[in-house]
Amino acid sequence: MKPETHTILAADCGSATTQVVLIEKQNNIYRLVAEAKALSSHGPPRNDITRGVTEAIEEIESLSGRRLLAKTGEALFSTIENEGVDVFVALVSAAQPLRVLLAGLTTDVGLSAARKAITSTYLSVVEEIALDDAQLGGEAEKIAAIQRAQPDVILLVGGTDGGAEASALTLAQIIGSALENTPANARPRILYAGNTELRTEMAEIIGGLSDFKSLNNILPTVQQNALDDVQTELDRLYQQLKLSQLPGFDTLTKWAANQISTTSKSFAQSIHYLGQSYNINVLGVDIGSASAAIAARREGFKRSLTRADAGVGSSLPALLAQVETETLTRWLPFEISEEALRDFLHNKELFPQSVPTTYREILLELSAVREALRLMLTQAKSIWQANETRRRKWSTWDLIVGSGQPLTQLPYPALSALALLDALEPAGIFSLALDASGLVGMLGGIASVEPLAAAQVAGYDALLNLGTVIAPLGIGRPGKTALKVKMTYRDKRELEMEIPFGAIEIIPLDANEKADLEVHATRNFGLHPDGGSFSRKMTAVVEGGVLGVIVDTRGRPIVLPSKDNERRQQIQDWLLKLGLRTNDE
Whole-number pLDDT of residue 302 = 87
CATH 3.30.420.40, the chain: domain bounds:
7-95+245-259
What is the SS3 string spanning 387-435? CHHHHHHCCECCEEEEECHHHHCCCCHHHHHHHHHHHHCCEEEEEEEEC
Low-confidence residues in the chain, pLDDT < 70: 1-2, 79, 386-394, 528-534, 584-585
Q: How far is CA 27 from the centre of its chain?
A: 34
H or E element, residue 464: strand 464-471
Count Cβ atoms below 10 Å from residue 474 Cβ, excluding itself.
Answer: 20
What is the SS3 string spanning 212-246? EEECCCCCCECCECCCHHHHHHHHHHHHHHCHHHC
Whole-number pLDDT of residue 389 = 45
Neighbour-count burial of 250, counting CB atoms closer than 10 A to its CB (0-12 exposed, 13-18 middle, 19+ buried): exposed
Please, are residues 137 and 163 in contact by the beta-carbon 8 Å criterion?
no
Whole-number pLDDT of residue 533 = 54
Residue 548 and residue 509: Cα distance in Å, rounded? 4
Backbone phi, then psi, for 339, in 5-degree steps?
A: -65, -45
Please, are residues 517 and 549 in contact by the beta-carbon 8 Å criterion?
yes
What's the first-to-final CA gap in the chain, in angstroms?
A: 62
DSSP assignment of 359-390: HHHHHHHHHHHHHHHHHHHHHHHHHH--SHHH
Name the DSSP class of 97.
P
Name the DSSP class of 582.
S
89 contacts: CB under 8 Å, gap ≥ 6 = 8, 9, 10, 11, 256, 257, 258, 442, 445, 446, 448, 449
1 contacts: CB under 8 Å, gap ≥ 6 = none
C-alpha distances in angstroms, 194 versus 211, 214, 258, 377?
17, 8, 34, 28
Whole-number pLDDT of residue 311 = 93
Please, are residues 579 and 414 in contact by the beta-carbon 8 Å criterion?
yes
Q: Which of 539, 548, 551, 467 is nearest to 501 (CA)?
A: 551
Residue 323 and residue 518: Cα distance in Å, rounded? 40
CATH topology (fold) of 98-241: Rossmann fold (3.40.50)
**CATH of the structural domain 7-95+245-259, one choice from 3.40.1130.10, 1.20.1250.20, 3.30.420.40, 3.40.1360.10:** 3.30.420.40
SS3 172: helix
CATH 3.40.50.280, the chain: domain bounds:
98-241
Residue 292 and residue 311: Cα distance in Å, rounded? 5
Q: Which of 580, 581, 400, 425 is nearest to 506 (CA)?
A: 580
Whole-number pLDDT of residue 387 = 38
Residue 556 and residue 554: Cα distance in Å, rounded? 7
Whole-number pLDDT of residue 212 = 97
SS3 179: helix
Angle at 337 between CA 334 and CA 341, to 5 degrees: 90
Residue 535: CA atoms inside 13 Å, Cβ hemisphere, count? 12
Name the DSSP class of 277.
H
